[in-house]
Structure 1
Amino acid sequence: MTVIFAKRAYLAAGWAENLRLEIKNGRITRLTPDAVAQLGDTCVDTLLPALANLHSHAFQRAMAGMTEYRQAGRDSFWTWRDLMYRFTARLNPVHIQAIAAQVYVEMQEAGYASVGEFHYLHHQPNGQPYDRLCELSDRIMAAAAETGIGLSHLPVLYSYAGVGEKPLEAGQRRFGNDVDRFCELVAQARGALGNLPDDCRVGIAPHSLRATCPRDLAQVVASQSSGPIHIHIAEQPREVEEVQAGLGARPVEWLLDNAPVESNWCLIHATHMTDEETCAMARSKAVAGLCPVTEANLGDGPFNGPVYLNAGGAFGVGSDSNVLISMTEELRTLEYSQRLRDLSRNVMVVGEGSAGQTLYRGAAIGGAQALGRNAGQITEGMLADLVAIDSQAPALCALQPHQLLDGLVFAAKDNVVTDLWSAGRHQVQNGHHVLRDKVTRNYKGAISELLAEL
């Protein structure tokens, strides 16, 4: 059994002082406020439920900073995508595992206890499957096992280059599967779960309405008896136009009318929605998977936040392209994008209240829901996905306890994180992941090899 003693902790019912928290088999078994630390307790300052990073393409971390040069004409998501395709052609399984491990170390040091890996890099550069169909899923799982992060692995169905079943382009050959081969890949990945802790799971991710078709989407969703279902939706105006022209409705509208969208679904980005679509999505109980740093980096546009929250919508955050892995930056960029659009302040709050608390609590609960994890709050019986921060850090030391989440979201950097537990696994201690040095050496070696081939 593991015991944590926290000077203060943010529980489901609010703040508690001098809390002893007991963990057994990865779950919180007992909470005792107004307690005294005992010999052997791990003592921390301020304990919070840790967030889930609900949307990651781990391999893209290695190309961060490579696409920030303006080319002739107007740079866009689509020009960035072309560069990404050229980069992926050089990645081998060893590179992918080393990059994913580095990403997961950085995520945990930033305060994320779990990750939803939206994994669409399946095959060899020429599009031929590896001898083991889920070879690259195995590599993602190996990185998760090494670093201890809670993994919801989401193999991606990617069959077409665009609406209307357009054939895959050369840069997409590594992604492509038909429904039958995809279902076999998912079955193999589920079989590999025995190599991971019990809190890890496998879901599915139809890539988008562009990269699948109504027939295939219905078939793969029907094949999924349980687990999370994630899909990119309405990220770019061009995507909205193409789906509307090809399927007769806007992406979110079409999906809600034609798929059994409910609480195990996560709609990634959902950036371009009408108010009617926004309210309908909130009513579906699906989670909005928001990636504000990447959405800003790619010029996607801001989410329709106030309408969605007022309709009772659930949300979480993810680091998507991993151009920057920072839990605090994701949350503050989400709020700041709303402020810039609306020329207002404290926008992501229903009625009155703390913007930081609304953002943090909402992302903790919504992110856990999106990954199918029984987490997101410090409550007995839930997974011990926990993060400790230092309230005496310069960015936070002037604040009262009820202001700490505002300080964390708007004034602090991730270096206020001192400790992190993923389902009770104490992976970050004194601000550093326990395997940081080893993982970073492997990452740098892989990058040196990769750059020599470019």
Structure 2
Amino acid sequence: MRRLFLKHALLPDGWAHDVSLTIDGRGRIAAIGTGDATAAAGADLVLTGHAVPGMPNLHGHAHQRAIAGFGERAGRDGGDSFWSWRSAMYAALDRMTPDDFQAVASQLYVEMLKAGFTAIGEFHYLHHDIDGRPYADPSEMSLRAVAAAREAGIALTMLPVLYAAGGFAGKPPGHGQRRFILDSDRFLALVSRLDTMASGDDDLVVGIAPHSLRAVPADLLARVLAARPLGPVHIHIAEQPQEVADCLAATGRRPVDVLFDQAEVDERWCLVHATHITDAERGRIVASGAVAGLCPTTEANLGDGLFPAEAFMAEGGRIGIGSDSHISVSPVEELRLLEYGQRLISGRRTVLAGGPGRATGRHLHTAAAQGGAQALGLDAGAIAIGLRADIVVLDADDPLMVARRGDGILDGWIFAGNRPLVRDVLVGGRQVVAGGRHAHEDHIARRFRATLERLHA
């Protein structure tokens, strides 16, 4: 048991002062006390800023951090879109080795921790060698993601991706997809290997990620779901208008309807993006209890569109946030852009506050923390007994925190600027960021710089 003292913390029933936490050997909160300043004297660790629940990052592709910002030159025909970006992303994978991938992932995960993310859902489809052949150990690249997460100290939900086709109706995969392709047997063998690694590791959860309806035919999806009845299931869905059009052409139905007719979608599912949905599809997602995995900065960067967050959340829909392509690695930017997008299409302010008199930042942060934890299969999302001690402490002395009290603290963090306010971070009760620094950030950054210099030479 360890004892932690927080001067000021957001608990499920509101803000509290002089909070003492008892952390068990698995990194869970075993007891909470409040209002006793003398408890600081017996604590193993005293943190004096504003403590809030850590934010899960429910969707990311670590390898894409290596190309963030490298795809902003306009094409010759002026018709740049998700699909032209995807071709550029595929090309960037032509040189990435396992060492390169681990270097990029470690840097990314350190950046996430320093920004206030405490867990990552790694939607991982970079399975094979550069020529498309399996590595001697078919789990090579997945194991590198686990190693990077352990090096950084972030909680990881590993989501190996099933990718079998290049488009609807069993279209053959293209050259750019050669590193992704797995059949059901190899996919389930990979999942089994990861299950073995996760046994006894409280910071590693294993789920599955059928990439999308266009990449996973219905019979294959059914086979894999039958073999994996428990644990997180993540899928890209209705991200692009072209995807919806292709699905309609192939099946006569829209993607969300196709999915719900093929599978029993429930609370263990995360529907990533779900940008282009009808009112009826939105209702099906809400009723299922699945989480909508929203990635506002990537969706904006790719010109994908805006998710109908106002109606979805008003109906009780569950959301979480992800940094996806990692053109931004910040819960602040994801939450801010989520709210601002709804303001721009509605012409109103405080759209996602959750009702009159409520603080927008608090409502968004709580919804995303709880929804993200659900999507990643983590007992997290709040500072509460029985949950993981995944905690972010904001710098109470920063100018952006002046005169901020109660829920105004989160409003200030999310809406008042871009200063790095995260001072301390705990993952499963272990301090991984102290005073704004990660213990291993210097050598991880050196390795990352050398890797990018080689990849972009």
Deviation string 1:397-454 (CA, Å, 9 cap, x unpaired) is: 12222311111111143611011111112101001112111211111122223234xx
* Residue 164 of structure 1 pairs with residue 161 of structure 2: no
Asked if 2 retains the 8 angstrom alpha-carbon contact of 1:109 and 1:428, the reply is yes
1:71 aligns to what? Answer: 75
Deviation string 1:326-360 (CA, Å, 9 cap, x unpaired) is: 11001001001111111111111333221111100
Shift of 1:279: 1.7
Of 245, 248, 254, 1:244 maps to 248
1:51 aligns to what? Answer: 55
1:175 aligns to what? Answer: 180
Of 204, 208, 211, 2:208 maps to 204
Of 152, 160, 179, 1:155 maps to 160
* Residue 382 of structure 1 pairs with residue 383 of structure 2: no
Q: Which deviates the most, 20-29 or 50-59?
A: 20-29
Aligned length: 451
* Residue 267 of structure 1 pairs with residue 288 of structure 2: no
Secondary structure of residue in 2 paired with 1:38: helix
Structure 2 residues without counterparts, runs of 5 or longer: none
In 1: Cα distance, 2:395 partner to 2:75 partner: 43
1:188 aligns to what? Answer: 193
Asked if 2 retains the 8 angstrom alpha-carbon contact of 1:233 and 1:270, the reply is yes
2:106 aligns to what? Answer: 101
* Residue 8 of structure 1 pairs with residue 11 of structure 2: no
Asked if 2 retains the 8 angstrom alpha-carbon contact of 1:19 and 1:32, the reply is yes
In 2: Cα distance, 1:75 partner to 1:447 partner: 24
Secondary structure of residue in 1 paired with 2:399: coil
In 2: Cα distance, 1:311 partner to 1:401 partner: 27
Asked if 1 retains the 8 angstrom alpha-carbon contact of 2:154 and 2:203, the reply is no
Q: Which deviates the most, 387-396 or 115-124?
A: 387-396
Secondary structure of residue in 1 paired with 2:168: coil
Shift of 1:391: 2.6
- Summarize the alignment of residues 41-440 of structure 1 with structure 2, pairs less than 5 Å apart: 41-73=45-77, 74-193=79-198, 197-352=201-356, 353-413=358-418, 415-440=420-445
Deviation string 1:95-152 (CA, Å, 9 cap, x unpaired) is: 0011000000000000011000000000012211001111000100010111110000
In 1: Cα distance, 2:313 partner to 2:183 partner: 37
Secondary structure of residue in 2 paired with 1:319: coil
Deviation beyond 4 Å, 4+ runs, structure 1: none
Secondary structure of residue in 1 paired with 2:420: helix
Asked if 1 retains the 8 angstrom alpha-carbon contact of 2:361 and 2:407, the reply is no
In 1: Cα distance, 2:306 partner to 2:428 partner: 33
Q: TM-score, normalised by structure 1?
A: 0.97
Structure 1 residues without counterparts, runs of 5 or longer: none
In 1: Cα distance, 2:239 partner to 2:377 partner: 23
Asked if 1 retains the 8 angstrom alpha-carbon contact of 2:319 and 2:371, the reply is yes
Letter in 2 for 1:246: A
Deviation string 1:227-284 (CA, Å, 9 cap, x unpaired) is: 1000000000000111111122111121122211000100000000111111211111
* Residue 35 of structure 1 pairs with residue 36 of structure 2: yes
* Residue 23 of structure 1 pairs with residue 14 of structure 2: no
Secondary structure of residue in 2 paired with 1:4: strand
Q: Which deviates the most, 2-11 or 278-287?
A: 2-11
Asked if 1 retains the 8 angstrom alpha-carbon contact of 2:47 and 2:393, the reply is no
In 2: Cα distance, 1:19 partner to 1:192 partner: 35
In 2: Cα distance, 1:21 partner to 1:399 partner: 24
In 2: Cα distance, 1:12 partner to 1:124 partner: 46
In 1: Cα distance, 2:45 partner to 2:179 partner: 48
In 2: Cα distance, 1:349 partner to 1:243 partner: 35
Asked if 1 retains the 8 angstrom alpha-carbon contact of 2:353 and 2:361, the reply is no
Secondary structure of residue in 1 paired with 2:387: coil
Asked if 2 retains the 8 angstrom alpha-carbon contact of 1:288 and 1:314, the reply is yes
Secondary structure of residue in 2 paired with 1:161: coil
Secondary structure of residue in 2 paired with 1:321: coil
Asked if 2 retains the 8 angstrom alpha-carbon contact of 1:104 and 1:144, the reply is yes
Shift of 1:2: 2.9
* Residue 450 of structure 1 pairs with residue 455 of structure 2: yes
Q: TM-score, normalised by structure 2?
A: 0.96
Identity fraction in percent:
46
Asked if 1 retains the 8 angstrom alpha-carbon contact of 2:389 and 2:428, the reply is yes
Shift of 1:217: 0.8
Q: Which deviates the most, 178-187 or 381-390?
A: 178-187
In 1: Cα distance, 2:147 partner to 2:407 partner: 40
1:414–1:51 distance in 2 versus 1, CA, 3 Å: farther
Asked if 2 retains the 8 angstrom alpha-carbon contact of 1:269 and 1:290, the reply is yes
Secondary structure of residue in 2 paired with 1:401: coil
Asked if 2 retains the 8 angstrom alpha-carbon contact of 1:279 and 1:307, the reply is no
Q: Which deviates the most, 150-159 or 244-253?
A: 244-253
- Cα-Cα RMSD: 1.3
